[in-house]
Structure 1
Amino acid sequence: MEGRRLAAEGYVAVTYTVRGFWLSGGEVDVAGAKDVADISTVTDWTLAHTPADPGRLGMMGLSLGAGLTLMGAAFEPRLKAVAAMSGWGDLTDSLDGADTRHLQAAAGLTAIRLPAGRPGPPLRNAVSDLFADRDIPGLRAWARTRSPSTYADRINAHGTAVLLQNAWGDSIFNSSQITAFYQRLTVPKRLVMRPGDHATQEAGSLFGLPGPAWSTALGWFDHHLKGAPDDTGLPVRLTVLRSGRQEQYAHWRDISTRTRRLPLAEPRTVTGGLDSGADAGTIEVSGLLDQVTGVPPLAEIPLLPATAAAVWQSPVYATTQHIRGIPRLHTTVTSSAPDGTAIAYLYDVNPLGLGALVTHAPRTWSHRPPGHPFPLDLALYATAYDLPAGHRLAVVIDTQDPLYASASPLGSTVTFTSRPGSPSELDVPLR
């Protein structure tokens, strides 16, 4: 559908079936060397069989296609502009970020081969190893070679103009990995972040429905390939969660100007391996509901069981708190088991105690002497969220979430506390 729209706008539009899918030959490669070679082969075919201008070539894609598009920017210097929607910059971080296996993200990677994909042994082995917690170094190496961030220097050397469009709630490719990749680029670039989940902002356009993501991509091509005037906006463009505000910044670092420190003064001890009810939601479903209804995953904060959830709350804020960027948690952990996982959640709590999820992230540790305290730092996923006046923030930490594999044994104990000179606290970036 979008190929037809490009053609109607005067572009020579070439689409191809990715290796390993439907009637295409080979096996699913997930942006590996064979997929990258295919991009150059399609480029060669296009120049040989169509009137395409070799000086004005672009590539765009969604999800797996976005990953291929960014790898194309790294390995095909003839591409002058690319547009990647719901893609990844760092596949390693998406599957095993913070030393935590992202099980539902891996399930999403598995699902890309359905209904007509033929995965090759490398993909089958990588996914099997992740689910089985086997040969994780090998999994990371496999993912690293398929990560555009690994080749950011090549993209910068080519000078390819890069458009990145992703969702705050992407449950497969988290928001922080794409914002980190964006910051490594020195080429003409734009970052657009909107509410939603993986590919939910773009999916309607595949069926002919209007949507901003594809229109933005077309405008990017018009400017960089046709020479049309730019829209003069700033490169970092955010749709803020809850308020719907549209904001623009010259640099990602400009989105926050100060930090509010939330002390987690009182120690808390939880039982490992229990799901407290504070969860980050379900892959694809929760982010889509947030996009359509404005309702993120919810939790009744006063009802969370103290045996499973460590909870701290801020005072009520008299004014709106404009949260922008990556909240960072620091605490001291004492665990009865050598391995464990902590999942930290930041909630917007209304006067009735109902918490709406702002952001979250996991962190796993291993080979720690039982009973010996150690520092734990955890960066929550990037967000832009307006906390209404009259609400408060809540920090919740537990050890189990359906999105992730937990290393905390059932029945273990985990204590979060402060130490002299190392207070337990959450730094919240604000505009």
Structure 2
Amino acid sequence: MNPSSSEIFVARQPIFKRNKEVFAYELLFRSSLANFFDPSQVGGEQATSKVITSSFLLIGLPRLAGGKKVFVNFTEDLLLRGFPTLFPRHEIVVEILEDVRVSRQVLAACEALVRRGYVMALDDFLFGKNLLPLVGLARIIKFDIRQLSREGLARQVATVLRHNPKLKLLAEKIETDGEFEYCKKLGFSLFQGYFFSRPKIVSGRDISGSKLHYLQILRLIQDENYNFEQLATIITRDASLAYKLLKYVNSAYFARAQEISAIKGAVIMLGENNLRQWLSLMMLSYIADDKPTELLRQTIIRGSFCEQIAGLISPQPADSGPFHTAGMFSLLPAMLDKNMADILAEISLAAEVVEALLDRGDGMVTLALRLVIAYEKGEWQMAEEISRMLRIDFAALPPLFARSLDHLEAFDVSA
């Protein structure tokens, strides 16, 4: 089955620096049915061309990368045809796939890129003497830590640094904070994986006083008996919140012809449901203040994506609230370093939201959250299967993801 031209599935995965701030995003094309390059359906060359078309021309790099660099895989043929030079050197990292042959033509193409100021990375690297010319040209080498033992990884690192001490090392498929810390000790400076969104749970540790305060406000906001005027009062009493609200409602996301300068006007424009959502996200930003900024970015995207999927399931806007809440609260464990069940004991939420956050059953909200997480990870087969369960069009998801990125931009999450 060949994906139709309308099915533009591009996943992004953050690449972190040692301080857990985002250095870049890797953009990967996936066929519409699989989370890998399937040579029988879409060859590597066509896959990379589709990344280029989708991300740079159709979806737009600012949406996907938010001003960060992007890593894009290039096949041997695309390298030889000069495709990387179509893009500004300050926006892209040219990632050489592990199956590229080290021929004279490939080396000449890589040398030309380096002379023009492009950054080159070697993907899924395993040292061999035939790769030494590429090691000398590369600025970044990526190691898949799942392919090697710790001892084997240490030997590979020592070998490549002996040949090129200026290299930056990138560890990919980091799943735990322990793996992150170990790779830091080995000398890695870049890290890729889902470790940042997993909680570091310490038995018996309480939620800190300031975070507990914000969590209590979050609980009030979710209480439907807490009326519109009381929500507005929370904002008017906090100058920082008031400033952020005005900045939000005047962002390009809302495409307003005239600027709103009064808090009352901003509150009325948003309406109660949107105000409740925005205020909840602000409280989450305070709760996650000591966490990687990407965690908050992911929270905003999940909430928006879940809410839009609700629109595919039901045309009634009032039905989308639980979906948005589930997406928005799904990363609370990583923000608070607590189990989800313990956190939910502190907040009063609708039963369908609780079920989704605990990943129980096959309710609509639960399935929508699973779908968003599968899409986020590029697990396309899983995403398609869940779409069928929800009876929604799988091909309708990419525009919703792009719209979620627009929503993220409206919040102006820095760093």
Q: TM tier, shorter chain?
A: under 0.3
Superposition TM-score, scaled by structure 1 size: 0.26
Higher helix share: 2
Q: Per residue, is there more strand in 1 or in 2?
A: 1
- After TM superposition, the score normalised by the length of structure 2 is 0.27
